[in-house]
């Protein structure tokens, strides 16, 4: 991956580049990369376009193999990749198109607090939240679940957490899929995956996962911001985590299954990391059921963390969480495969949409959206890193027409975690952020170095491309105040 990618890129417009089907044998559709010239340089240096072309070889793929502007090299699919396969035409499902951290996602919680009200006590508040939220590799929570209890989580997702007292009934209304995929099959999840998930519910994990106190710094779309409950100067909270060890194990288990399925069904692939099976096959159905169960675990995980945050803030401010206005704005998935209907070349198709490091971006009027968001489109949450802005966007009709209702999910890495640790010192990053007024708490300085702002692309540039391309539109900019990392 050290050499610059030298394949063909045909400019379609100011924000799109096409890899023709003629680039390599086996491509069934073109590749389309959303980027401007400044972002494209890092993309071709990373060799990620080769993975876009490889994905275009998947059986049943329709439209195009898509890449969002935060694209970078991943396992099989690029991170930032989107692909839809037609189920009736033998379309496949690929674990590499979802990733190891199934339903790594983010949720945004509003408050009635103004950021200026908490600034003088910010360090104390960050410390209180750090004590309340278990973080880091192998972290465990207060919950201990046996296999039967865990299978209830896998079946019900966020609803299970609410029923156990970890949240408010209305929370599930503001989660993608209402916090639970209906096709989840807990029986398809291995005993090893169950064991890894038995004590991690309500924990944040490591890597790019975080909890952040953010200032709403700028509003771009007053109407959408009002619908979302956002206003300038407000304090909001982001929670970013996924399915922890359980989801990782589900992916590991099914990569082996899919490796055998490729041979069984005579599927030819340019990269074995794209191992897959027709969705309408025993292997495809089993993976989809297990993946959906892991996704439900992730929604339950973020729901329990929301409860912990509400408890901590209620205790810190000495008043009820309802008085503080700690309402869930929305919860989105970043690594997932969904069964959705989309129009392709004027024909309505039932598809399996893979979004790996990409966010759903359904436009105004879509019936799955909460009623109060239906006129403005789905909230799209695009977190930055711990030293840069995050963005709240809204889904668009153009995304429905061009990208299977998808957009970017974050900044996208420039440096691998190993390279970041070699070139950056966590203690220096921490001090630099504190000089900017950003309080950071983390399990180690190495973890801070891995996730330093210099390790990532410019999230503002990424968001500007999606906004100009029309596949999501800017609603608000958030600025970090306090960050908790694993």
Residues involved in catalysis: 409
Q: Are 250 and 133 in contact (CB under 8 A)?
A: no
Q: Which residue has the tokens 């901590």?
A: 312
Query: Which residues have C-beta within 8 Å of that of residue 295, sequence separation ≥ 6?
Result: 102, 103, 157, 177, 181, 184, 243, 247, 333, 336
- For residues 105 and 299, give the distance between their C-alpha atoms in angstroms, rounded to a whole number: 8
Strands 16-19 and 31-34, by their bridges, are antiparallel
- For residues 241 and 283, give the distance between their C-alpha atoms in angstroms, rounded to a whole number: 27
Q: Which residue has the tokens 């465990």?
A: 140
Torsion of Cα atoms, 420 then 425 then 426 then 430, to 10°: -120
Using alpha carbons, select from 198, 161, 201, 167 the residue that is nearest to residue 180: 161
Q: Which residue has the tokens 């390790």?
A: 455
Q: Are 385 and 412 in contact (CB under 8 A)?
A: no
- The DSSP annotation for 112-147 comes to EEEHHHHGGGHHHHHHHHHHHS--STT---S----H
If you count them, how many residues does the chain have? 486
Burial of 98 (C-beta count, 10 Å sphere; 0-12/13-18/19+): buried
Query: Which residues have C-beta within 8 Å of that of residue 462, sequence separation ≥ 6?
Result: 39, 68, 69, 70, 382, 408, 410, 411, 412
- For residues 106 and 330, give the distance between their C-alpha atoms in angstroms, rounded to a whole number: 8
- For residues 421 and 427, give the distance between their C-alpha atoms in angstroms, rounded to a whole number: 11
DSSP bridge pairs for 350? 341
Helix (H) or strand (E) holding 336: strand 335-344
The sheet with strand 79-86 has its strands ordered as: 10-13, 16-19, 31-34, 61-72, 79-86, 347-356, 335-344
């Amino acid at each position: 991956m050290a050499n610059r990618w030298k394949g063909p890129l045909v400019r379609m417009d100011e924000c799109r580049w096409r890899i023709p089907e003629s680039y390599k044998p086996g491509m069934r559709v073109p590749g389309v990369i959303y980027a401007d010239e400044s972002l494209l340089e890092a993309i071709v240096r990373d060799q990620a376009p080769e993975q876009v072309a490889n994905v275009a070889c998947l059986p049943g793929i329709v439209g195009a193999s898509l890449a969002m502007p935060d694209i970078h090299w991943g396992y099989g699919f690029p991170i930032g990749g989107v692909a839809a396969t037609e189920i009736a035409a033998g379309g496949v499902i690929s674990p590499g198109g979802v990733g190891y951290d199934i339903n790594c996602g983010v949720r945004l919680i509003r408050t009635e607090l103004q950021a200026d009200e908490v600034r003088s006590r910010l360090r104390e508040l960050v410390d209180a939240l750090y004590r309340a939220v278990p973080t880091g590799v192998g972290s465990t929570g207060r919950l201990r679940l046996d296999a039967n209890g865990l299978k209830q989580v896998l079946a019900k997702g966020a609803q299970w957490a609410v029923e156990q007292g970890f949240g408010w009934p209305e929370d599930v209304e503001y989660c993608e899929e209402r916090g639970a995929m209906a096709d989840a099959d807990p029986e398809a999840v291995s005993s090893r995956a169950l064991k890894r998930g038995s004590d991690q519910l309500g924990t944040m994990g490591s890597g790019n996962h975080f909890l952040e106190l953010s200032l709403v710094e700028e509003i771009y779309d007053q109407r959408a911001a009002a619908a979302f409950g956002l206003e300038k100067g407000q304090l909001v909270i982001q929670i970013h985590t996924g399915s922890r060890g359980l989801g990782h194990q589900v992916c590991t288990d099914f990569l082996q299954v899919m490796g055998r399925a490729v041979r069984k069904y005579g599927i030819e692939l340019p990269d074995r990391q794209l191992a897959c099976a027709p969705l309408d096959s025993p292997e495809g159905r089993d993976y989809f059921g297990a993946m959906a169960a892991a996704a439900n675990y992730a929604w339950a995980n973020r729901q329990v963390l929301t409860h912990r945050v509400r408890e901590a803030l209620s205790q810190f401010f000495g008043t009820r969480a309802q008085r503080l206005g700690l309402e869930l704005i929305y919860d989105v998935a970043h690594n997932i495969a969904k069964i959705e209907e989309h129009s392709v070349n004027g024909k309505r198709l039932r598809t399996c949409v893979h979004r790996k490091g990409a966010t759903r971006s359904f436009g105004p009027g879509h019936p799955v959206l909460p009623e109060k968001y239906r006129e403005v489109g789905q909230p799209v949450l695009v977190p930055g890193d711990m030293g840069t802005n995050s963005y709240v966007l809204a889904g668009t009709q153009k995304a429905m027409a061009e990208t299977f209702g998808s957009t970017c999910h974050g900044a996208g890495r420039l440096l691998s975690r190993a390279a970041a640790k070699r070139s950056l010192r966590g203690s220096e990053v921490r001090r630099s952020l504190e000089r900017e007024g950003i309080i950071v708490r983390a399990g180690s300085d190495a973890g801070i170095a891995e996730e330093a702002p210099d390790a990532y692309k410019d999230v503002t540039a990424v968001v500007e491309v999606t906004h100009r391309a029309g596949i999501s539109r800017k609603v608000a900019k958030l600025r970090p105040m306090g960050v908790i990392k694993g």
